[in-house]
Every structure is written in C-alpha cells, then in structure tokens.
C-alpha cells in the first residue's frame, strides 16, 4: 500500500527532525535540514525524489559567497531558508552503495523501520563527511574528489552550480587560473542580463583580490 506525498513528508519529519537536530541540523522546508555553524558554508541534508515512489537523503553544501542564476538575473542564497545545493555529494552519483539510502513510500511498520535505519545511516555516513568541512580551504579536496570520481549518472559538471562554486572557492584561495577555468564552464553564464554579467565579473574579481591578499 502506498501513501501520499504529505504522509511521506510527515513520516520523514517524525524521524529525521529529531535525529538530525542532535547533530546541529534544523529543518527549513519540507525537504532540507541545515547546519549553519560553519557559515558561510552551510551543511545540508536534502531529500531527493526518484521515480518509482522512492526518496533518498543527499548530503550537500550551500555556500553564501556563491551566487546563482534565476530568470537571467544573479541571485543570492545566503540564509538557511534560501540555502540551495552548490556542491552535491549525491550518493546516486558519488557513493559506493546508493541503494542503501533509498526509501519507498511504504505504509506501516516496514516503512517506519526503513526510515529509522536510513536516518542512522545518514548520521553515521553523511554527518561526519559534512563536518570535515569548516573552512573554504576544506572545500578544495571535496571538489577535487568529485571531479575525479567516475559518476554513475551525472558527473561533476552535470550539476549546474558546481562550476561556479568551484570558481569562487578557487578564487578566494588565490588559485586564479583554476578559478577562471571553472567560471567559464558555468552554463548560465551567457544567459545573464548584461548588467548581471557585469555584476558577476565584479564579484568574481573581488573574490580573486581576496585570494591574492
């Protein structure tokens, strides 16, 4: 027997809210839990939905210093509520055993048992992984591992925010050549309005200048 999206979310909240709160994560909408203790780097557990009535948790980072594009405009996501995926450690692409985190819309004790088991896996596998990152410099090995990983479905550059996130990370650390190379790979770059492209250029140059000091 299957249950509705609403019922699934309530089941998730009942298990994940308490489990993740013990490790500094707070839920801000119906599919993400945020730990802002390392801001401007925000650690995030996001629930992704697959076909076949399956959901799974995904660890990722939201970076306050990285903008995104929406409607050809440059936008920010600098709060827990607006946090979004900038760097994804999606187990479907970058993990050894993604199916262990899958949860189907099962009703009753089997579904609850699966939720609780996956919550324990998240605490054991994902939280320590995210907690290794406390500074911008800590993001570099994360990005490098993702770029080198032989992904199952989507590689590093299939994630829209990955290139611009990498660009600003490298820029702030003084790695100018790598930063410029990554920014050129950001797919929304040519979609920006002229004023917003100029704004991005200024922001990027400011980041580079920070990295030179």
∠ CA 49-81-37, rounded to 5°:
105
Instruction: Let me know: does 137 contact 175? Beta carbons within 8 Å.
Output: no
What integer pLDDT is reported at residue 150 of this predicted model?
84
**pLDDT by 10s per residue, the chain, length 213:** 455 667 777 888 888 999 999 999 999 988 899 999 999 999 999 998 887 678 899 999 999 999 999 999 999 999 999 999 999 999 989 887 878 888 776 556 667 778 888 999 999 999 999 999 999 999 999 999 999 998 788 999 999 999 999 999 999 999 999 999 999 999 999 999 999 999 999 999 999 999 998
What pLDDT shows up at residue 85?
A: 97
Q: Kindly provide the residue ranges of all beta strands, DSSP E only, lying in the chain, ordered along the sequence.
A: 26-27, 32-35, 41-50, 54-63, 68-70, 73-75, 87-88, 103-104
DSSP 104: E
Angstrom CA distances, 200 to 32, 73, 116, 211, stand at 27, 10, 43, 17
Write down the pLDDT at residue 30: 85
- pLDDT at position 82 is 97
pLDDT at 106 (0 to 100):
54
First-to-last CA distance in the chain?
60
Quote the pLDDT of residue 100.
85
Between CA 122 and CA 171 the distance in angstroms is 32
Contact between 140 and 169 under an 8 Å Cβ cutoff? The reply is yes
Give the pLDDT score at 6. Answer: 73
């Amino acid at each position: 027997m299957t249950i509705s999206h609403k019922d699934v979310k309530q089941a998730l909240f009942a298990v994940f809210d308490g489990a993740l709160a013990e490790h500094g994560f707070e839920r801000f909408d119906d599919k993400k839990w945020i730990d802002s203790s390392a801001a401007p780097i925000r650690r995030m557990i996001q629930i992704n939905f697959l076909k076949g009535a399956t959901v799974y948790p995904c660890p990722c980072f939201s970076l306050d210093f990285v903008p995104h594009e929406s409607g050809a405009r440059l936008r920010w996501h600098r709060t827990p509520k607006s946090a979004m995926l900038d760097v994804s450690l999606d187990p479907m692409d970058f993990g050894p055993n993604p199916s262990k985190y899958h949860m189907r819309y099962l009703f009753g004790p089997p579904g609850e048992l699966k939720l609780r088991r996956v919550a324990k896996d998240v605490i054991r596998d994902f939280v320590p992984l995210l907690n290794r990152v406390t500074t911008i410099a800590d993001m570099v090995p994360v990005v490098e591992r993702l770029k080198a990983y032989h992904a199952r479905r989507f590689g590093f550059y299939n994630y829209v925010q990955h290139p611009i996130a990498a660009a600003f990370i490298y820029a702030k650390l003084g790695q100018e050549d790598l930063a410029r190379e990554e920014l050129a790979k950001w797919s929304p770059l040519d979609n920006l309005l002229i004023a917003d492209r100029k704004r991005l250029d200024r922001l990027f140059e400011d980041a580079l200048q920070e990295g030179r000091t």
